[in-house]
DNA sequence: AAGTTGATGCAATTGAGTTGCAAAGTTGTT
DNA sequence: AACAACTTTGCAACTCAATTGCATCAACTT
């Protein structure tokens, strides 16, 4: 695989096995977030569990983030280069009810909320549902 | 059951069966949102499926709303009196990672987001995770 | 080479949600 | 009251994504 792929894996201290290179390669060419099942179908022979554990590893190492878009299957997408997945750097996600795609709105940060007193924030998930520009 | 319970059911044109009165009664005394499983355990003899369908009916009639807090089980909470569940009137939800409770922050409306051009909005889900005031 | 650690593949399990269908209950009509 | 039409309920069975257990394989370490 690409040299670039290995660099990304190394940068997040993930051992670059064949499987991981392959999965990262496929993830990198997606325009929308993908589920494990969708990902599985993009490979000739792919074990669901290995894929599952690969994604877990990627997520732990903050190479990808997972998106619970409310459809029942978790979607995954690459994090931006320097992302630490801290609450301040999270972005809004969009689920199109027409094309059933989940998009990272990387340029739209999650607006801050004023929580009630003594509530502390660790994480936020914000998913907007509607029709995307391609489906108008 | 209470006369109030029947009023609420009638107001949303839900036929007040014994089961529905009971479920609404239990829902009304909750301080946080509950899952189907939690609800099931609050009754002596309760059929999961009947409960499931009762909640579906309640949700369709906008007596309750469901919350996908990312834990894997949907939570349910009463809607406010005049709620139509329109995007403008949605509120933020809070999941406490300590007590594992999901709270409706009824007084905190979901902030508006500026979507990219030609994206239209139908619905928003916003869940904040952290520690609640009781668990500090 | 043997030992240790991590990665992979297959089978099986979990658990929330959902469907099918028949029985029981309700309502309205003759 | 008897009947039909419709709604609600209960049980069993099923779906589907996610997860675990365990044996095998690969990559380093001594
Ligand atoms: Mn994203
Ligand atoms: Mn709520
Ligand atoms: Zn679309
Ligand atoms: Zn708490």
Q: Which of B74, B92, B72, B91 is nearest to B83 (CA)?
A: B91
Looking at residue A2, its pLDDT comes to: 75
pLDDT tens, residue by residue, B80-125: 988 999 999 999 999 999 999 999 999 999 999 999 999 999 999 9
DSSP letter, residue A33: B
* Span between the terminal Cα atoms of chain A, in Å: 37
Nearest to A68 among B70, B122, B136 (CB): B70
Q: What residue of B is the nearest CA neighbor of A132?
A: B119
CA of B85 to the centre of ligand 2 (A): 10
| Ranges A37-46, B20-29, B68-77: which has the least confidence | A37-46
Q: How confident is the model at residue A46 (pLDDT cuts 50, 70, 90)?
A: confident
**pTM exceeds 0.95, yes or no:** no
pLDDT at residue number A44? 80
The count of residues in chain A is: 136
| pLDDT of amino acid A35 | 97
pLDDT at A136: 87
The 3-state DSSP class for residue A131 equals: strand
User: Is the separation of the CB atoms in B105 and A115 below 8 Å?
Assistant: yes
Of all ligands present, the nearest one to the C-alpha of B101 is: 4
From chain A residues 9-38, the ones with a CB under 8 A of any chain B CB are none
Separation of alpha carbons B91 and A113, rounded Å: 11
- Which residues have C-beta within 8 Å of that of residue A32, sequence separation ≥ 6? A75, A77, A101, A102, A103, A104
A1 pLDDT above the threshold of 60: no
Instruction: Enumerate residues 6+ apart whose C-beta is below 8 A from A117.
Output: B133
Burial A52-82 (b: 16+ CB within 10 A, else e): eebbebbbeeebbbbbbbbbeebbbbbbeee
If you measure CA to CA, which chain B residue comes closest to A127? Answer: B125
User: Measured between alpha carbons, how far is residue A79 from residues A28, A58, A107, B17 in Å?
Assistant: 10, 10, 13, 50
CA distance linking residue B74 with residue B72, whole number of Å: 7
Which residues pair with residue A30 across a beta bridge?
Answer: none
E strand or H helix at A21? helix A18-28
For residues B33-62, give the mean pLDDT: 94
Which string of DSSP letters, residue by residue, matches B2-50? -HHHHHHHHHTT----HHHHHHHHHHHT-SSBEEHHHHHHTSSS--HHH
Q: Which CATH number fits domain A2-130: 1.10.3720.10, 1.10.10.10, 1.10.3260.10, 3.20.20.140?
A: 1.10.10.10
Q: Provide, in whole angstroms, the distance separating residue B106's CA from nucleotide C28's C1'.
A: 43
- Please give the radius of gyration of chain B, using alpha carbons only, rounded to the nearest integer: 16
Asked if residue A83 has pLDDT above 60, the reply is yes
Mean pLDDT of A19-43: 95
**Contact in structure between A107 and A75 (CB atoms under 8 Å):** no
């Amino acid at each position: 695989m690409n040299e670039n792929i290995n660099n990304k894996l190394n940068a997040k201290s993930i051992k670059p096995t064949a499987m991981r290179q392959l999965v990262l390669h496929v993830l990198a060419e997606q325009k929308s977030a993908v589920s494990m099942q969708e990902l599985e179908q993009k490979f000739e022979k792919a074990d669901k569990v290995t894929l599952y554990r690969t994604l877990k590893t990627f997520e732990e190492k903050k190479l990808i983030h997972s998106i619970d878009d409310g459809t029942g299957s978790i979607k995954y997408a690459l994090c931006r280069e320097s992302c630490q997945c801290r609450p301040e750097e999270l972005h809004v996600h969009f689920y199109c009810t027409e094309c059933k795609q989940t998009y990272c709105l990387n340029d739209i940060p999650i607006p801050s909320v004023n929580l009630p007193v003594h509530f502390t924030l660790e994480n936020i998930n914000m998913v907007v549902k509607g029709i995307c520009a391609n489906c108008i």
